[in-house]
A and B are shown apart, each in its own frame.
Chain A
Amino acid sequence: MDSLTLPRTHYANAEYGLRSWLLTTDHKRIALLFLGSISAFFLIGGIFAMLIRLELLTPPGDLVSDDTYNKLFTMHGIVMIFMFLIPSIPAVFGNFFVPIMVGAKDLAFPRLNLLSWYIFITGGMFTLAAIALGGVDTGWTFYTPFSTHASQSNVMLAAVGVFIMGFSSILTGLNFIVTIHTMRAPGLTWFRLPLFIWAIYATSLINVLGTPVLAISLVAVALERAFHIGIFDPAYGGDPLLFQHLFWFYSHPAVYIMVLPSMGVVSELVAAFSRKNIFGYTFVAFSSLAIAVFGFLVWGHHMFVAGMSVYSAMIFSVLSFLVAVPSAVKVFNWTATLYRGSISFQTPMLYALGFIGLFTIGGLTGLFLATLAVDVHVTDTYFVVAHFHYIMVGGALMGYLGALHYWWPKMTGRMYPDLIGRIAAVTVFIGFNLTFFPQFVLGYLGMPRRYHAYPPEFQALNVLSTAGASILAVGFLIPAVYLLWSLKYGKVAGPDPWGALSLEWTIPSPPPTFNFDETPVITGPAYAYDQREGQRA
């Protein structure tokens, strides 16, 4: 490995200076712009999370006032969902690897891609301004009539920020769909595509079809708040439930915007680190599309106790159960892929295995919530909080960290210390479970969410949860340190440090500006590990 050297020129050193980054149209550089921005936003959202957990260390509301607490959980939600999780994997790893994995020189619309980043930053500035000027307290869901009439906080600024950032994810999704449709290399048929591409494709469909509805609902909220036009106001014959329908029409599919890309990453990781073709490739590919389609039909399960018709609730409940089918297809097929594979437990694989376990818990507790009678008992309790953190942190974030550790050597050309990486991965896993598993119990015992004080009998479990959050924070800080360290001191990785097979591993690390010297011609399936092992023997 010592004989490996970095390529003399690559995408990151082809040009120098701030201008060459801020005006770049290279998808790989734009990916790094996104990586930097969302890492900063993740830090901000994480600080809010730690403040929430610190407040909940003791039963009385002693650290912050109730108003401040409302703002903390609102801003934690807005920052983590709209500014970190939704852009995370697509905007960073999708941007970097979709063109490479389909054998193209760039995305179909490079300038639009750069525009996406500027739109994202502009929207982010509005939201940060809302935070800096005193915060927002409506919850990330902007429910009316609180957001339109009662709230005295910076609802307008935050809503405008989220509205603007929505166009960034629409444009990124549009760019991916067009690229995957029109720019695949010769011989790269749909069923030879890596499963990461299928997942990004499904995600992009949701981005393109769902986000505009969020945008128009936020416009309506802004109009209602500014001019009291009555659209959600019962005093004028308007219906607050209409807002919830429109909001969740986007925001439930948004859960899949966050978790589907991670599922794609896990497919890549499971294949690469067990040296096997993905079991049931076609089923895994179509399950991504099925999740995207079903995901649009289940939003009502967020409104079971909101006063919706009981017949609607029954239909939404049944449809919600259906989403479990394609999700289970994925989990079973990953497990079947692992069976008799030659598994190596390197850092990215640990995150993938963590994802499979935690996503399963998150998904199964989702079925509890889709069950009408159980939902009435646990709705708006910490059970819900624990459930969606198992999906968003245990699922989406684990996939993001897995992707970061898997592709880091390709993006930077250098390896991080794998042992410390594995220690960090285990720390994250332990810290995560210690934080959120007690919350399932708390919720089941009846502790409601969104209060800054609670009865003393809940303290023991809350102390466990806060202790877990501290461990989790350490688990996130360790990679930040060693990844930055590796930029200068890491071992040179070479083109294919993992022995993985997809197209990105055939080009130098870091890749040249136009990715491929020669347009590749694809002759076989994405994960032909079985054939290669045969050749080696």
Chain B
Amino acid sequence: MPDAASESHALHGQPPAILHEPALKHHFDDLAQQKEAATLGMWLFLATEVLFFGGLFAAYLLYRVWYPDVFGEASRTLDITLGAVNTMVLICSSLTMALAVHASATGERRTLMVFLVLTMVLGAAFLGIKGVEYYDKFAHHHVPGPSFHFEGAAPERAQLFFSLYFAMTGLHALHMVIGLGILAVLLFMAWRGRFSPAWHTPVEISGLYWHFVDIVWIFLFPLLYLVDRHS
């Protein structure tokens, strides 16, 4: 067993001392291989997420092409200010997340914790603003269902827009909530001093996830809010 390990470490050009790294799982040769596997795994997971959201984007595309006028009309009822502010909030949270990853790579534990908390605050702010918007939809009877009401030529097709609006932003919000959970775990691990410049893979790949969720919103915002604001 030690022979095999040192042999493969020789092949990977790593000193045998790294065997004592507590974060190294037994079935990997070294931390570099372990990190490569984790990173590839997260990218693949994000690929599945693209396809997962892709089904809804395909549905949106179809109905937007079929009913451009109704979709434009329904889109104009959304609050563009709140949407734009939320977009800014999310982009800022991506920045703080990137800074958190950087802090974990340089081993600054306090800075890491500060940026993780900031990211969580911004994420929660996004969800709060989203909640205000959802409340507004309830107040105006724009939620699909028996009490749906829309002043316009084709209310049933406007309902289709709001169905997609709730499905897409709801799925996105669910991903934000999961992201906040992940950040909470990272914060706990950082507080316990689990990360080091040699091993901070969880922070890095969680960062990938957070940026992905951010990018989904970057597509949702123009499709849902801006689609008919050019005139």
- A contact set with B: CB distance below 8 Å: 104-110, 170, 174-175, 177-179, 181-183, 186, 208-213, 215-217, 219-220, 223, 227-231, 235-239, 242, 245-246, 514, 516-519
Contacts and interface: CB of A to CB of B under 8 A. Distances in A.
B63 A227 contact: no
B62 A239 contact: yes
Contact of B48 (A170, A236, A237, A519): A170
Contacts of A235: 156
Contact of A236 (B11, B29, B53, B156): B156
A224 to B, nearest CB: 9
Given A186-B11, A516-B4, A518-B3, A230 B55 contact: no
B55 A216 contact: yes
Task: Give the top 10 A-B pairs by smallest Cβ distance, nearest first.
Answer: A216-B55, A212-B52, A229-B163, A105-B27, A106-B27, A212-B51, A237-B157, A108-B37, A518-B4, A519-B4
B55 A217 contact: yes
B48 A212 contact: yes
Nearest to A175: B41
Interface in B98-119: none
A104 B4 CA distance: 12
A211 B48 contact: yes
B51 A209 contact: yes
B21 interface: no
B66 interface: yes
Given A236-B159, A519-B4, A230 B62 contact: no
B154 interface: yes
B40 interface: yes
B74 to A, nearest CB: 12
Contacts of B53: 216
Interface in B18-68: 25-29, 33, 36-37, 40-41, 44-45, 47-49, 51-56, 58-59, 62-63, 66-67
Contacts of B92: none
Contacts of A242: 58-59, 62
Among B8, B41, B58, B167, the most chain A Cβ lie within 10 Å of the Cβ of: B41
Nearest to B170: A223
Contacts of A231: 59, 160, 163-164, 167
A220 B3 CA distance: 55
A105 B26 contact: yes
24 contacts: A109-B37, A110-B27, A174-B41, A178-B37, A183-B28, A212-B54, A213-B51, A213-B54, A213-B55, A216-B54, A216-B56, A220-B56, A227-B144, A229-B160, A230-B144, A230-B159, A231-B160, A231-B163, A231-B164, A237-B156, A242-B62, A514-B27, A518-B3, A519-B8
A178 B3 contact: no
Nearest to A519: B4
B51 A210 contact: yes
B64 to A, nearest CB: 12
A148 to B, nearest CB: 13
A237 B63 contact: yes
Contacts of A110: 25, 27
A227 B167 CA distance: 12
B7 interface: yes
A186 B8 contact: yes
A242 B60 CA distance: 11
Contacts of A107: 27
Given A174-B41, A178-B40, A242-B59, A519 B66 contact: no
Contacts of A209: 47-48, 51
Contacts of A174: 41, 44-45, 48
Given A237-B156, A237-B157, 8 more contacts: A105-B27, A181-B37, A186-B11, A215-B52, A230-B159, A230-B160, A237-B154, A519-B4
B13 interface: no
B17 interface: no
A66 B37 CA distance: 52
Given A178-B40, A209-B51, A213-B51, A236 B45 contact: no
Contacts of B28: 183
B86 to A, nearest CB: 23
Nearest to B44: A174
Nearest to B162: A229
A517 B52 contact: no
Nearest to B66: A237
Nearest to B55: A216
Among A109, A223, A227, A238, the most chain B Cβ lie within 10 Å of the Cβ of: A238
Interface in B155-213: 156-157, 159-160, 163-164, 166-167
Given A212-B49, A213-B51, A237-B63, A181 B58 contact: no
Contacts of A170: 48
Nearest to B41: A178
A181 B40 contact: yes
Contacts of A108: 27, 37, 41
Contacts of A215: 52
Nearest to A107: B27
B44 A236 contact: no
B59 to A, nearest CB: 6
Contact of B55 (A236, A239, A246, A517): A246
Nearest to A186: B11
A518 B144 CA distance: 62
A93 B143 CA distance: 48
B115 to A, nearest CB: 27
B15 interface: no
A245 B54 CA distance: 13
A410 B206 CA distance: 39
Nearest to A104: B27
Contacts of B59: 220, 231, 242, 246
Contacts of B156: 230, 235-237
Contact of A182 (B40, B49, B67, B145): B40
A230 B155 CA distance: 12
B1 interface: yes
Nearest to B155: A236
A229 B25 CA distance: 47
Given A104-B27, A220-B59, A519-B4, A230 B52 contact: no
Nearest to A185: B8
Interface string B84-95: 000000000000
Nearest to A246: B55
Contacts of B67: 237
A250 to B, nearest CB: 9
Contacts of B54: 212-213, 216
A235 to B, nearest CB: 7
Among B25, B27, B36, B154, the most chain A Cβ lie within 10 Å of the Cβ of: B27
Given A110-B27, A236-B157, A220 B55 contact: yes
A220 B37 CA distance: 33
Contacts of B7: 186, 518-519
